[in-house]
Structure 1
């Protein structure tokens, strides 16, 4: 059995990008750039007005003669001479010969005669061509997540496609004779709703993975082997839930060993989550999670999330950002295993949940952080600082 830090280091070492692909910009939201976004055009593409108003020449006095209009996408085609002006709208090209734009609030119009009601100011209300960026300028760096703001920049660069890191394909295989699909447990005595795979699939999506299959099988080696072989062939990462402990019907790790599993670690000194295991079969990574809901989701947040982040081209450390909070209830001493306590945090004040059972499910919805206690740590009192991570 290895420490949590040792397990995390092994996972981080395997969390490497899977390769890149070109995707349409419309499908790129949330993806991670594999090459920089470089502007293909100047922005603005010409000197444009920053206001609705009138384009005028310095030194001209009203009344001015209106000689045309300039709209975004439909510029005034002529030129401007002395004593002339052009009606102009925000984003429209500034006519040749104009030096500034007078806001419409500072002008009056009577037919083709325009009067200026405010004297010249320092503000020109013109955005010069290329004042934001020029063609060839890098706008977004490799590794940038394409959030709403970055999507605007990529589109403004005049790109129809962007090169991004490929999202990991994830297969989820749940095992357990007692498990049935949600909605049917009430009519099957002795059964329980299979809930873990739904939480794991949601976490996969949260960390930019793509679930390609989600299957539940009984605790029978032949069935597990068949399902695992198919899943391995279609995925970059196979997640197996359940079957990782020492029960008589915990077959998952043994079956994967028969399929050529190269085990990187088998157990981790953490609570909950001790039975977690990790390895690879050929080119496919395999992560075994405990079957209990809380154990599975805590372990997935701490180990699966950074793995997915790295495989998808993100910084795996982004999924492991701990921060300080102030404890609002006492915690007992930590035993031989590092402990991760489910808790509720509000404005840097954190309170452990009352139910820390590994099979708890309501507590998963109630908690929003995990408190970290190192192995052998002393008891903690109200007001003590603790390490927490978003859950």
Structure 2
């Protein structure tokens, strides 16, 4: 049996039939989430809480992790306070294999995430990617625990989580990252023009063997997540991409 084989009920039957008493397996990664921002409240409370917005990401990221093999751990919301973020960072690092941090990744005066995790012993591996959306994304490591910093905007965060968190989960689970990033070349259903100098990952709809890139690609356009089937990768300065041209597509 090859390394990286997922233990399904069928695989379990085959192992037992071969009289295998036990098999060496990779443990599932433990995933914790820290959402930064004093304006965040649990979903259902924003309408009755002044100057607040619902935390739409924490549970979604834990669910994404579960779907890709993680063990969901705690999710916490913290104010934009350096000492508070640092304290929660230390707790999460001690109890997780991956910590996803939402927000606090930009250059604002109250964006404390990276600084707080550095104070908690995290070494920055890389920061900032020339991509759209998700430019502020960053990654660090503290001991054996990985820390992934995601943008505060929910659509940008879920996009970068699909591109960075999911492959990391597969690698820590003993399989290759390609098992998480299965790009397929799909013909474009209609013309699309792209002139930005950043690599783009755009929400798209898959229908009848073709993909349509959704018109509204604002990072704040969360409603399109209900209709999109995945992401289309568009190279910087592509210009006009005509109908029928094959484009890389990644299902959610």
Please classify the TM superposition score into its range, dividing by the shorter chain length.
over 0.9
1:329–1:351 Cα contact (<8 Å) kept:
yes
Matched, 1:187 2:48: yes
CA offsets, 1:200-248, max 9 Å, x none? 1111111111122111111111111111111111111111111101222
- Measured in 2, the distance between the counterparts of 1:330 and 1:273 equals 25
Alignment counterpart, residue 367 of structure 1, candidates 223, 228, 232: 228
- How far the C-alpha of 1:261 sits from its partner, in A, is 2.4
Show the counterpart of 1:298.
159
Pair member with larger Rg? 1
Q: Structure 2: which 5+ runs fail to align?
A: none
- Measured in 2, the distance between the counterparts of 1:155 and 1:363 equals 46
- How far the C-alpha of 1:373 sits from its partner, in A, is 0.7
Relative to the length of structure 2, the TM-score reads: 0.95
2:63–2:72 Cα contact (<8 Å) kept:
no
CA offsets, 1:24-52, max 9 Å, x none? xxxxxxxxxxxxxxxxxxxxxxxxxxxxx
1:276–1:288 Cα contact (<8 Å) kept:
yes
C-alpha distance 316-355 of structure 1, shift in aligned 2 (>3 A): same
Show the counterpart of 2:81.
220
Show the counterpart of 1:30.
none
Q: Structure 1: which 5+ runs fail to align?
A: 1-139
Alignment counterpart, residue 11 of structure 2, candidates 150, 156, 178: 150
- Measured in 2, the distance between the counterparts of 1:216 and 1:249 equals 15
- How far the C-alpha of 1:309 sits from its partner, in A, is 0.2
- Measured in 2, the distance between the counterparts of 1:347 and 1:160 equals 47
Show the counterpart of 1:270.
131
SS of equivalent to 2:64: helix
* Structure (1/2) with the larger helix percentage: 2
Task: Give the RMSD, CA atoms, in angstroms.
Answer: 1.5
- How far the C-alpha of 1:159 sits from its partner, in A, is 4.4
- How far the C-alpha of 1:158 sits from its partner, in A, is 4.0
- How far the C-alpha of 1:160 sits from its partner, in A, is 5.4
Alignment counterpart, residue 119 of structure 2, candidates 241, 258, 263: 258
2:32–2:62 Cα contact (<8 Å) kept:
no
- Aligned pair count reads 252
- How far the C-alpha of 1:351 sits from its partner, in A, is 0.8
